[in-house]
Amino acid sequence: MAAGLDRIDLKILRLLQEDGRIGNAELAKRVNTSPATCHRRTQRLFDEGYLRGVRGVVAPEKVGRGSLVLVGVVLDRSTPESFSAFEAAALAMPTLLDCHLVAGDFDYFLKIRVSDMADFNRMHSEILIALPGVRQTRTFFVMKEVIDNAPLSL
Dump pLDDT digits (tens) for 48-106. 999 999 988 899 999 999 999 999 999 999 999 999 999 999 999 989 999 999 999 99
**The domain containing residue 118 runs over which residues?**
60-141
Mean pLDDT score of the chain: 95
Any domain includes 113: yes
User: In the chain, how many domains are there?
Assistant: 2
Residues 106 and 67 in one domain: yes
Q: What is the C-alpha to C-alpha distance for residues 59 and 146, in angstroms, rounded to an integer?
A: 15
Any domain includes 94: yes
pLDDT at 96: 96
CATH of the domain at 27: 1.10.10.10
Q: Could you tell me which of 47, 45, 33, 69 has the C-alpha nearest to residue 141?
A: 69
How many residues does the structure list for the chain? 154
Any domain includes 54: no
Average pLDDT (13-42) is 96
Kindly give the interhelix angle for 35-47 and 7-18, rounded to the nearest 10 degrees: 80
